[in-house]
Amino acid sequence: MYKKILGIIVVVLLAIFIVILSVNLLKSPKMYVAENQEYNIDKDISFTVTKANNMFVTFEIVNNKSESITYDSVYEIEKNIDGIWLKYELEVEFVQADYTIEPGKKAVENVVLGNVYNLGNGRYRLLKQIDSKMLCAEFEIAT
């Protein structure tokens, strides 16, 4: 009797697990055509992605100006599909924080993607407002 009940419980839990896994795998973020296909370039600010995979992106901002620059915690992700940049609709709220980089200094930060986006292989770009200009850094994900 106990074996039957235990067997039923295991089957029910397994079924629930499979449904939850299926929903998460099928969930794909919404995308739309990006308004700007090209962004600003600032020769005095270096904005690059130094490491990327489907879970996180590490980026670096280098201030080559003679004065401090500022940026915030907000970012956007776009994917290039057939030569067109598509913007991901964000499903995350940002804690507003402003950061300053002194002249000749750099900042290195990570953006966690794994729980927000389901990024597969492809060409992407990270967009950030840096010193009142929208700059982008391209990166690729290949698993």
Secondary structure string (H, E, C) spanning the chain: CHHHHHHHHHHHHHHHHHHHHHHHHHCCCCEEECCCCCCCCCCCEEEEEEEECCCEEEEEEEECCCCCEEEECCCEEEEEECCEEEEECCCCCCCCCEEEECCCCEEEEEEECCCCCCCCCEEEEEEEEECCEEEEEEEEECC
- What is the model's pLDDT at position 92? 61
- What is the model's pLDDT at position 9? 73
- Alpha-carbon distance values, 9 to 2, 19, 23, 108 (Å): 11, 15, 21, 48
**Cα separation of 28 and 20, whole Å?**
14
- What is the model's pLDDT at position 120? 84
Per-residue pLDDT tens listing for the chain (143 residues): 767 776 677 666 655 655 454 444 334 557 656 666 667 678 899 999 999 988 889 999 999 999 999 998 888 889 999 988 888 877 666 677 789 999 999 999 998 876 666 788 899 999 998 988 889 999 999 87
**Cα separation of 51 and 93, whole Å?**
23
**All structural domains of the chain:** 31-141 (2.60.40.10)
- What is the model's pLDDT at position 11? 63
